[in-house]
Amino acid sequence: MDDAGRPGNGGVVSRTTDPGALGAGAEPATPIGLGIVGAGAIGTVHAETALRNGLRVAGVWDMHGARADALVARIGGHAARSLDELLAMPQMEAVAIAVPNVSHADCAVRALERGKHVLLEKPMAMSVAECDRILAAAKASGRTLQLGFVCRGTPASAAAKRFVDAGRLGRIYHAKCSIYRRRGIPGLGGWFTTKAQAGGGPLVDLGVHVLDLVRYLTDKPQATRVSGACYANFGHPIASYRYVDMWAGPPKPDGTFDVEDHATALIRCEGGLTIELNATWAMNQPEGALKDGIFLFGDRGGLAFQIFGSEVTLATEEDGRLVDVKPLLEPGDALGKAWDAQYLQFTQAIRRGVRPHATGEDGRAIQALLEAIERSSAEGRELDVQR
């Protein structure tokens, strides 16, 4: 999970640019004018994906002006000196918001109030209350609000969804979703590990992606009860942290690390589905001993896949025998395809007025889970999930 742009592992997608990549369902010629809010690792991926998919990056705003300048120098557009200046640009129809989580709600609400469509990075915000503010602004503006749950769009996720929708799993009674990193704390000491800016550790960085994917694959059941446990065992003090490489820059020994490094939860949903989550930035386990991925347990079939993998396996019974079915997946760069899919959906939502693929309500539902997991961990008991 070290490639740039993977969940919680931002960076530049290195595929060659293919302006014709919109493919089937391509949108008409007038390009959408897009503003990038936050010119860091993932803001850069947004900009490059937007260009590849026929949007026009009209402007960039980053509170560190040099980062906006550098991105604009590479991809064109205007380096705005404030969010207001960016939002006032007449050619700006939409913005992609890729700033630290603490600023999601403020930037999203301001953009929606200025009549811009918003593609908002995960997690939606720092709290359910902030999600509600964003949802209210989206409703009042009538503009598109799409969440950056990019993992729904990989070839493996799409194949899994087809199996589920075709009824090949029957009733899904349990789902296990995991992302394990042995030493993968991002930007130790920086904003990712500072609760006031990130809201949490691997739970909000990685857990959101797999929780959303399970929820999406299982027809969005309402979560009712949660038992969560969060741990902080590594990187204290920061200088003692042993790692091979570190995404988002070297550790800052004088920085803050006050979020968890491992989170686990059991979530009960209406209808009986249970979801088991493991989201880990750092652990002592042998390389490869634990498998990342999504595992769905159904009474007719079961599914196993890695989000960015090249295989999805359906385990089922055929003609009285147990069989493993492995469909051929679309070859190529799974990550780039997922980002392209996200931008195709955003474009269609804006141009055709269709409901975005990942909605603000989806973001809020995940936020409610995050809050319940954290509270359950703090209180040491199973709790209700806020509706």
Ligand X SMILES: NC(=O)c1ccc[n+]([C@@H]2O[C@H](COP(=O)([O-])OP(=O)(O)OC[C@H]3O[C@@H](n4cnc5c(N)ncnc54)[C@H](O)[C@@H]3O)[C@@H](O)[C@H]2O)c1
10 binds ligand X (CB under 6 A): yes
Alpha carbons 81 and 62: distance in angstroms, whole number? 8
CB of 257 to ligand X, least distance (A): 16
Q: Which of 52, 137, 142, 55 is nearest to 96 (CA)?
A: 55
Alpha carbons 326 and 279: distance in angstroms, whole number? 26
C-beta closer to ligand X: residue 163 or 339: 339
32 sits in which H/E element: none
CA angle 45, 47, 51 (to 5 degrees): 115
363 binds ligand X (CB under 6 A): no
Q: Are the C-beta atoms of residues 107 and 37 closer than 8 Å to each other?
A: yes
340 binds ligand X (CB under 6 A): no
101 binds ligand X (CB under 6 A): yes
CB of 265 to ligand X, least distance (A): 19
199 binds ligand X (CB under 6 A): no
C-beta closer to ligand X: residue 302 or 357: 357
| Partner residues linked to 383 by β-bridges | 226
338 binds ligand X (CB under 6 A): no
Which region holds residue 199: left if phi is over 0, alpha if psi is between -120 and 50, else beta? left
Contact string 123-162 vs ligand X (x = CB under 6 A) = -------------------------x-x------------
358 binds ligand X (CB under 6 A): no
Closest-CB residue for ligand X?
40
Q: How many residues does the chain have?
A: 387
121 binds ligand X (CB under 6 A): yes
Alpha carbons 316 and 11: distance in angstroms, whole number? 38
Q: Is the peptide bond before 123 cis (omega within 30 degrees of 0)?
A: yes
64 binds ligand X (CB under 6 A): yes
301 binds ligand X (CB under 6 A): no
C-beta closer to ligand X: residue 172 or 279: 279
CB of 3 to ligand X, least distance (A): 10
CB of 353 to ligand X, least distance (A): 25
Question: How many residues bind to ligand X according to rule CB under 6 A?
Answer: 24
Which one of residues 32, 34, 55, 62 is an interface residue with ligand X (CB under 6 A)?
Answer: 62
Q: Which of 176, 127, 189, 148 is nearest to 6 (CA)?
A: 148
296 binds ligand X (CB under 6 A): no
41 binds ligand X (CB under 6 A): yes
**What is the footprint of ligand X within residues 250-289 (CB under 6 A)?**
none
Measuring CA to CA, how many Å separate 274 from each of 65, 172, 265, 283, 297? 46, 9, 10, 25, 10
Alpha carbons 95 and 354: distance in angstroms, whole number? 18
Give residues in contact with ligand X (CB under 6 A): 7-8, 10, 37-43, 61-64, 67, 98-101, 103, 121-122, 148, 150
